[in-house]
Structure 1
């Protein structure tokens, strides 16, 4: 499914979420089913077997959060929207703590991450709470992997961060000025939600655990002066 324009997601009403999943691995699917069945934030869940079912579900239903496995996620699919023409939040289940380069280089970076061998009811609940709070949920192990990227040799870091989008290149110097997401949104004439997604994408591409580290890495790589 392709949509040319990303649509902002409104606040979650009552923090009760409608969730759809696409996780084909039987063992992981069982674990995710069990975790979601006990999550207080979840009102309804639909488990899909393939992308056709996902797209049909989105066409006909409200979907607040979409759980996808890394192997089933394709960044070039464009922006997925549900029956309300709203974009669901995407939580990506990673095989390892490393976020694949093709995901970072794609047009749409997921809204949060989980790791296969850390898939517990607590981890799922924490990720959902982070999504509701407007954060980018990320396990500590993934954060550590990003920190390792910061320590990579300069030439290797340059290869990783060279593929920034035009909008990311606009946001990066504003981060260096210390502007908040709301200030950046006003400066560029876009939504705060849009800025939040761009900043999350920058943190991942730069291998930075926070905004300050992102700016330092960008300066080290000559992306800003």
Structure 2
């Protein structure tokens, strides 16, 4: 599916900073980011719009800065890995291309969760499988969604953006944002993918 972004987002200058411990990874990211015309690389602590990092953040993160966590294969494969409200997007080191970086940056700036398809499928597959160690899944209070919210949840599971949901439901983009926010609130989820995972565990939707 081709991502859609708010008008003007793709041509605006976006200040991007890199915070990684490996000089090799840092240089690689710099090289790829310099291929993106809308990116302005910031250095020496200058203000940024998007931060790409391999590190956990402090509990007082700047909410105005969108943060993308750079994962390695071991982190992706770890059964204990879960999404965190600390981060607005995720990238896998071994799969980074200029297009992946571009789409991730534009998505988080647009207020959407950026997550590689492979990671999303892995998380959804885990959620649809038996609980680890054969333990019974933790029971959650019943979630009551309206008919419109249930349709919105299904569209989220299909990976649709707010704009695409608005078109599918024939409502305004603002209305779609309200519906998505309501679904996330009822499912007590920090982002879209976490909401889908929670919904699967509650058997509100199925994943094929």
Q: Distance in 2 between the 1:147 and 1:157 partners?
A: 18
Q: Name 1:65's counterpart in structure 2.
A: 50
Q: Name 1:87's counterpart in structure 2.
A: 64
- CA drift of 1:37 comes to 1.1
- CA drift of 1:117 comes to 0.5
Q: Report the secondary structure of 1:15's partner residue.
A: coil
TM, length-normalised to structure 2: 0.62
Q: Report the secondary structure of 2:40's partner residue.
A: strand
Q: Name 2:199's counterpart in structure 1.
A: 215
Q: Given the superposition, is the C-alpha separation of residues 151 and 122 from structure 1 closer, same or farther in structure 2, using an over 3 Å criterion?
A: same
Q: Given the superposition, is the C-alpha separation of residues 154 and 114 from structure 1 closer, same or farther in structure 2, using an over 3 Å criterion?
A: same
Q: Name 1:126's counterpart in structure 2.
A: 103
- CA drift of 1:34 comes to 0.5
- CA drift of 1:36 comes to 1.1
TM, length-normalised to structure 1: 0.58
Q: Name 2:38's counterpart in structure 1.
A: 41
Higher helix share: 1
- CA drift of 1:64 comes to 0.6
Q: Given the superposition, is the C-alpha separation of residues 202 and 159 from structure 1 closer, same or farther in structure 2, using an over 3 Å criterion?
A: farther
Alignment gaps of 5+ in structure 2 = 1-7, 153-175
- CA drift of 1:24 comes to 1.5
Q: Distance in 2 between the 1:119 and 1:17 partners?
A: 19
Q: Distance in 2 between the 1:17 and 1:131 partners?
A: 11
Q: Given the superposition, is the C-alpha separation of residues 159 and 30 from structure 1 closer, same or farther in structure 2, using an over 3 Å criterion?
A: farther
Q: Name 1:146's counterpart in structure 2.
A: 123
> Alignment length, in residue pairs?
168
Q: Distance in 1 between the 2:48 and 2:78 partners?
A: 24
- CA drift of 1:30 comes to 1.5
Q: Report the secondary structure of 2:15's partner residue.
A: strand
2:42 touches 2:48 (CA, 8 Å); kept in 1? no
Matched, 1:32 2:29: yes
Alignment gaps of 5+ in structure 1 = 1-10, 49-56, 189-193, 209-213, 221-225
1:9-28 equivalences in 2 (<5 Å): 15-28=12-25
Q: Distance in 2 between the 1:124 and 1:63 partners?
A: 16
Q: Given the superposition, is the C-alpha separation of residues 22 and 15 from structure 1 closer, same or farther in structure 2, using an over 3 Å criterion?
A: same
